[in-house]
Structure 1
Amino acid sequence: MKTILVTGGAGYIGSHTVKVLLEKGYNVVVLDNLVTGHHGAVLTDSFYQGDISDAELITTIVEKHQIDAAIHFAARSLVGESMTRPDLYFHENTAKTGMFLSALIQNGVKKIVFSSTAAVYGLPETVPISEQTPKAPINPYGLSKWMIEQSFEWLEKAYGLQWIALRYFNAAGASLDHSIGEDHQPETHLIPLVLQTALGQREAIHVFGNDYNTPDGTCIRDYIHVLDLAEAHVLALQALNDGHPSRAFNVGTGQGYSVREVIETARRITGHPIPVVDAPRREGDPDSLVAQVDDIQQQLNWQPRYSDLDTIIQTAWNWHKNNPNGYSS
C-alpha cells in the first residue's frame, strides 16, 4: 500500500483527489497551510498544517509516514491577484515549490504529480490546444507554473526525479455525496458564481462580452469535473510507478461550453431565473479554450465520466444548496 503526500489537500481539487486516493486504498498525508484551504475539507487524520517551504517539516513527514510519492497542489491561483502581486506568485508558487522539491529529493522521494494549468499556453493561436502548443503565459500565475514545469527536466537529469504535470482546463463540480465542494474566497469561477446568484447571494451574474466569435457570442471553455480531474492524478501516480516517462498532459474533455450554455443549464437544474447583466469584455479573454486530450486518454487510459455539463452543475448545485456559506456552513 502506497503512502502519498498531498500538498494543498485542504483545497478544492486537492480534497477531491484525497477522497479518490482513499477510496482506492492509498494511505494519504495532507500538508496545507490553510491560507486558502479549509480544515473541513481534510478527509484524512494524517494532517499537517504547515508550509511547503519548511524543509524540516517535510523531512519529518517523509520519515514518519514513509512517503512514496507526492501530489503537489499547494499554490496561489488567482489570475487577477497575480497581475497586481506578481512577486507573491513567484515566491509562493515557484520559489517555494523549488524548496519543496529539494526537500523531497534529499529525503529520497522522487515521484511527483504536479498541479499545473492551461494558463501556461496564454492565448493560443489554434484550438483545440495540444501539449505541443507554444507556452506563452500572459499572467504571472501561468508563468509561475510554467517555470516550475521547466525546472522538472533539470531535476530529472540531476537527481532522477520522475514527474507528470497535469495542465488543467476549467475544474468544476463537487463530490457525488455532497461532502466536499468548491469554496473560494473570493470566488472567481463562473459556475459557483452562477449558483450563488441562484441562491440569491448575488443580484446577477455578469457576462463579460457577448460579441466573441462563438455561436452565441460568449466565451467557450472546457469544463472538467473535479472527480475526473482527481482520477487523472491517481492514474498519473500509477503511470510513474509503472515507469512511464516524465511529461505533461492536458486534462480537459475536448469539448467546450459557452457562458450562456452554463447559465441556461443552471437555470434548468436549479429552477431559478438567474438574472444576467451584460458587461464589457475582460482583457485577455480568448474566444475559445478547449483541450486536445488524445495523449492522456491513450497513454494513461483516462476517460472523463462525470464531465457532461448537467452532472457538473447538478453536483455543484447540491453542494452549494447544502452549504450556502461554504465550509463555514
Structure 2
Amino acid sequence: MNVLVCGGAGYIGSNMTAMLAENGHKAYVYDNLSKGHIEAVVPEAEFIYGDLADYDKLVRVIRDKKIDAVMHFAAFIEVGESVKDPLGYYNNNFCNTHNLLRAMDFMGVNKFVFSSTAATYGMPDEVPIVETLPKEPINPYGESKWAVERMCHFQSQTGRLNYAALRYFNACGAGRNSQLGEDHKPESHLIPLIIQAALGQREDIKIFGTDYNTKDGTCVRDYIHIEDLCSAHLLALEKLSTESEIVFNLGNGNGYTVREVIETVKKVSGKDFKVTETDRRAGDPAVLTADSAKAQTQLGWKPKWTNLEDIVETAWKFHSARPNGYSG
C-alpha cells in the first residue's frame, strides 16, 4: 500500500514509517516540522514538506502519490498547553484533521488510522479502562481528540470512510534498534524526563504526589513500547479492508508507579540523581491502566515489550547516544 503518514517526522510517526517500510509498504511522510525532526525520517520513506491546513496540497499529494491509506499522527499533545491555548488545539487537532478528511473524501481514499488518546476518558471511575467507559475529557487536548473520533464515526456512516481510532496510554521507549526515540521540546513525558536527570541535564526529577492510594503512594501508569504501539497500527490498517469502524485501547495492562519508573532508570543507567517530592497536580488520577483485550482478540495483537526494564533500556540507549536529541 502507498501510505501517507501525517506527522511522520515525530516520535510515533517516525517509528510507524519505519515499520511500514519494513513490511513492504511505501510510506510518504507529510510533515511541517513544527514538532518533528527530518533526521527521524527513515531513508526508505519519501518526505514531503506540507501543512495539514493546505487542502490543495493534500489533494495533490494524495492524487500524485496514489495514496491508498492515511495514518494521522500530526497533533499537539501537551495537556497543560491545551488549557492555555484551547483554540490553538482545536484548530490543529480538529480543524486540520477535518481538512485532511475532506481531501481524502474528495480523492476517494477511505482508509484512515487515527492516533487518539486515553485522555478521551478523563477521570475514569474504574480501571483497567475498557473502550465502553464514558468519554469525559477534562482538557482541550482530550476533547479535541474525542471530537475527531466522533467526526470519523459519522463520516463512516456514509460508507465513504473506514477508520481505526487507537487510544494510547503512555507510549515510550525507542524503536529501530534504539535509533528512533523521543525528542520533544519541551519534554513532558516521564521516562525521558527521568533520563534527563540521569544525564545531568536537569537538577532533579519531581514526584507530584506521594499520598495516592497505590502501593508506594505515587501515581500508576501504563507504559507501552513504541514498537508494540506501531505493530497494532499495522494490524488495524489491514483490518480496514473489511471493517468500517474499529476502536481500541493500546496499553500493556501493567501499571508501574512513578517511584518504580525512577528506580528502573537508575538501575539501567547506573546513575543516581536527586528526586524531589512535591504536591499533587490537579487532575492526576491515581491509576490509569488499559484493558487491551479487545485489540488482542480482534486484531491478534500482543505486546512483546512487557518488562519495564527492557523498555527503559531502549530509551536510555537513544538518549545517552543523543543527549541533545536529533539536533545534537
In 2, Cα distance between the equivalents of 1:219 and 1:118? 16
In 1, Cα distance between the equivalents of 2:175 and 2:104? 30
Per the alignment, residue 112 of structure 2 pairs with: 112
Deviation at 1:160, TM superposition (A): 2.0
Q: Does 1:226 align with 2:226?
A: yes
Q: What is the one-letter code of the residue matched to 1:207?
A: I
Q: What is the one-letter code of the residue matched to 2:63?
A: E
The answer to whether the Cα contact below 8 Å between 1:208 and 1:279 also exists between their aligned partners in 2 is yes
SS at match of 2:112: strand
Q: Does 1:287 align with 2:306?
A: no
Q: What is the one-letter code of the residue matched to 1:194?
A: I
Per the alignment, residue 305 of structure 1 pairs with: 304
Q: What is the one-letter code of the residue matched to 2:19?
A: V
Deviation at 1:182, TM superposition (A): 0.5
Per the alignment, residue 76 of structure 1 pairs with: 76
The answer to whether the Cα contact below 8 Å between 1:228 and 1:307 also exists between their aligned partners in 2 is no
Deviation at 1:244, TM superposition (A): 2.5
The answer to whether the Cα contact below 8 Å between 1:4 and 1:28 also exists between their aligned partners in 2 is yes
Deviation at 1:158, TM superposition (A): 2.4
> Would the alpha carbon gap of residues 111 and 20 (structure 1) be closer, same or farther in structure 2, given more than 3 Å must change?
same
> Would the alpha carbon gap of residues 303 and 45 (structure 1) be closer, same or farther in structure 2, given more than 3 Å must change?
closer
Q: Does 1:236 align with 2:236?
A: yes
Bigger CA drift: 117-126 or 49-58? 49-58
SS at match of 2:21: helix
Residue by residue over 1:168-220, the C-alpha shift from the partner in whole angstroms, topping out at 9 and shown as x without a partner, is 00000001422211000000000000000000001110000000010000000
Consecutive aligned runs of 4 or more in structure 1 exceeding 4 Å deviation:
none
In 2, Cα distance between the equivalents of 1:189 and 1:132? 27
Per the alignment, residue 265 of structure 1 pairs with: 264
The answer to whether the Cα contact below 8 Å between 2:21 and 2:45 also exists between their aligned partners in 1 is no
SS at match of 1:47: strand
Per the alignment, residue 155 of structure 2 pairs with: 155
Residue by residue over 1:258-307, the C-alpha shift from the partner in whole angstroms, topping out at 9 and shown as x without a partner, is 00000011111100012100011000000000001110000000001124
> Would the alpha carbon gap of residues 87 and 7 (structure 1) be closer, same or farther in structure 2, given more than 3 Å must change?
same
In 1, Cα distance between the equivalents of 2:66 and 2:49? 18
Per the alignment, residue 196 of structure 2 pairs with: 196
Per the alignment, residue 180 of structure 1 pairs with: 180
| Superposition CA RMSD, Å | 0.9
> Would the alpha carbon gap of residues 11 and 307 (structure 1) be closer, same or farther in structure 2, given more than 3 Å must change?
farther
Matches within 5 A, 1:21-60: 21-43=20-42, 44-60=44-60
Identity %: 49
Residue by residue over 1:21-42, the C-alpha shift from the partner in whole angstroms, topping out at 9 and shown as x without a partner, is 1111100001011101111111
In 1, Cα distance between the equivalents of 2:159 and 2:265? 49
Q: What is the one-letter code of the residue matched to 1:310?
A: E
Per the alignment, residue 121 of structure 1 pairs with: 121
In 1, Cα distance between the equivalents of 2:62 and 2:86? 31
Deviation at 1:136, TM superposition (A): 0.2
Per the alignment, residue 15 of structure 1 pairs with: 14
Residue by residue over 1:202-256, the C-alpha shift from the partner in whole angstroms, topping out at 9 and shown as x without a partner, is 1110000000010000000000001100111101001112x03412100001110
In 1, Cα distance between the equivalents of 2:175 and 2:68? 26
In 1, Cα distance between the equivalents of 2:321 and 2:229? 23
> Would the alpha carbon gap of residues 314 and 18 (structure 1) be closer, same or farther in structure 2, given more than 3 Å must change?
same
Residue by residue over 1:22-80, the C-alpha shift from the partner in whole angstroms, topping out at 9 and shown as x without a partner, is 11110000101110111111114411111112111111111111100000111111000
Normalised TM-score (structure 2): 0.98
In 1, Cα distance between the equivalents of 2:59 and 2:128? 42
In 2, Cα distance between the equivalents of 1:176 and 1:38? 16
Normalised TM-score (structure 1): 0.98
In 1, Cα distance between the equivalents of 2:327 and 2:98? 33
SS at match of 1:158: coil
Q: Does 1:321 align with 2:320?
A: yes
Per the alignment, residue 131 of structure 1 pairs with: 131
In 2, Cα distance between the equivalents of 1:281 and 1:76? 24
In 1, Cα distance between the equivalents of 2:259 and 2:103? 46
The answer to whether the Cα contact below 8 Å between 1:105 and 1:159 also exists between their aligned partners in 2 is no
The answer to whether the Cα contact below 8 Å between 1:197 and 1:204 also exists between their aligned partners in 2 is yes
- Number of aligned residues: 327
The answer to whether the Cα contact below 8 Å between 1:176 and 1:315 also exists between their aligned partners in 2 is no
